[in-house]
Structure 1
């Protein structure tokens, strides 16, 4: 899972980024509205955390611009503005959730997980595929009822596949959800991660769909 954080407070931005990375998310940070708008328009994200009071371009304008471009990723507004009018403006611009400062970082993590799960079409917090289960609200995997230990990269790939189980996930889509903006990403490194996952959860759990990508679960036919 990959998240964009648009926050001009350097200290707070680093705390949010560090927390999300500890929870295995790939995270990009933009420190002003102009950079945030550009990243949201050109990169692929599972969710965005957006401040309202940003330099260069304000958060509501940034959000409106994304929605005008039909960018559909869920957006959580994180701001010190708690007036009703500000909340209305945020939701009218296309926000999916609104959290005011000060806040608990773990609440932010839980809200983001819920937004990503629902935007992927999953209603229940617990997703099951054969012997594998994923608590999408806690971010925890189990195999045959036992905790599954994964690296951050393995977790990102497997969560992307699990949220779209029984559906082919394009190779480029997976790469975009695993690596951060300035990372040196390629399909070979993705193959390595897929290979490690197959050794951990079973070689028949992740199917290669030639010329397209990967699918968690059996491919019909």
Structure 2
């Protein structure tokens, strides 16, 4: 074979390799969005010092005052969007319901293979938000809070762990997995600071204690 034809074959092979690679990249699935990372411990301590300390008031609270699981895109609502974001190899049907996948719960370290075993936690619970300032918000602001995918306010966790947490703040409830506690309080303070919510004295004391060890 002449050098001319050898070079030509090499050129064709290189072109085909590049084409295959570009097709592969084109067909590669898009990476899932990551859970928002909370602010640093130092920033959280600074934010906490700026939060007003007030007695909580639950008068008039109703969960329906926080419109949640609104439509995000197509047939997917907020819950389904977070399940896809926080899960691994999540497959959904035409209604956007997760039919398979796995979910790791950072609160307790458990992994689940059924979406029905997973709740989407409002890290700062809706009732807690109401107690600390959201009672005076507009409905649209409460809706934004209840569906906030930008701050570290929503995450997939074991359902009965979320239910045991209920509407408690860090003075009375923390994740059983100690490795996650620093992340949890950093996220808690960030969300409260962003939404200009208050803390009560026991809550602030607990947050200061946990942040001191972050």
TM over 0.5: no
TM-score by length of 1: 0.28
Q: TM-score, normalised by structure 2?
A: 0.28
Higher strand share: 1
Larger radius of gyration: 2
Higher relative contact order, chain-length normalized (CA < 8 Å, sep 6+): 2
